[in-house]
Structure 1
Amino acid sequence: MAKKYNSITEYINDFPEEVANKLEKIRVCIKNEAPNSEELISYNMPAFKQTKILVYFAAFKNHIGFYALPSGNEEFRNELLKYKTGKGSIQFPLNEPIPYNLIRRIVEFRLKEISK
């Protein structure tokens, strides 16, 4: 059975330093864009919520999964062509630079979307 996390800090601290640093940078990036959002663990993954879930993220063996829900992927479709994506998921390979600016813009888009 997988470990159950109670906080984003606990989640991040469970990974090797190199991966943890990338996760922490993603966390800061989201927090800077959405300072009024709440940090939580949902589906045993880090998530940010502001009335509704903005985004989730999670580390895997070879990538960091970023979940901006289908609307986030649709809005940034052209910029996401170089990444493996699913209906609402994006895979950022661990052996490539993480596109923090793109993450910031996706969070900004999701904030506008949920405040409609």
Structure 2
Amino acid sequence: MSDVDAYISALPEDQTQALTRLRAILKARLPDHLEVISYKMPGFRQPGPKGRMVAGYAAFARNCGYYPHSGTVIPQFPDLTAAFKTTPGAISFTPSHPLPEPLVLALVEARLAEIAQTGK
């Protein structure tokens, strides 16, 4: 069992389902990326020795979170994120109100573009 599998399987059932769904969306879009634990949360890192983190996610007592590992990605999508509590570096969601797939994909695309442009 991978570290990511262990992290997800240790959660309450509703969070397990929510993060399994989010993981599947990310894995389908980032099939060549590495699944890792970074900052004590699962996520996807670009391959290679200097691969950057593209997306991370985590579960907490009252919610789950999505982390693009950048403070400039989430603010690009005020309309898509309006239904969620956000900070420049995180989106909070619950299993009963998960992130829509188009939002997740938009966040991933923005992060990949940022990495391509800035290298960070």
| TM-score between both structures, scaled by the size of structure 2 | 0.83
Cα offset for 1:102?
A: 1.0
Partner of 2:60: 60
- Are 2:73 and 2:88, in contact at CA under 8 Å, matched by a contact in 1? no
Q: 3-state DSSP class of the match of 1:26?
A: helix
Q: 3-state DSSP class of the match of 2:73?
A: helix
| Coordinate RMSD, CA, aligned | 1.6
Answer yes or no: is 1:32 the counterpart of 2:22. no
1:36 and 1:18 map into 2 onto residues whose CA distance is 28
- Are 1:34 and 1:108, in contact at CA under 8 Å, matched by a contact in 2? no
1:87 and 1:99 map into 2 onto residues whose CA distance is 18
- Are 1:67 and 1:88, in contact at CA under 8 Å, matched by a contact in 2? yes
- Are 1:33 and 1:108, in contact at CA under 8 Å, matched by a contact in 2? no
Answer yes or no: is 1:45 the counterpart of 2:41. yes
Ranked by relative contact order (alpha carbons within 8 Å, sequence separation 6 or more), the top structure is: 1
Q: State the Cα deviation string for residues 37-90 of structure 1 (Å, max 9, x = none).
A: 111001110011112010110011222100112122122122112211112010
Unaligned runs of 5+ in 1: 1-5
Amino acid at match of 1:86: T
Partner of 2:87: 86
2:99 and 2:52 map into 1 onto residues whose CA distance is 25
Instruction: Work out the percentage of aligned pairs sharing the same amino acid.
Output: 32
Question: Which stretches of structure 1, 4 residues or longer, exceed 2 Å deviation after superposition?
Answer: none
- Are 2:17 and 2:95, in contact at CA under 8 Å, matched by a contact in 1? no
1:88 and 1:98 map into 2 onto residues whose CA distance is 15
Report how many aligned residue pairs link the two structures.
Answer: 111
Cα separation, partners in 2 of 1:100 and 1:62, compared to 1, 3 Å: farther
Amino acid at match of 1:9: D
Partner of 1:20: 16
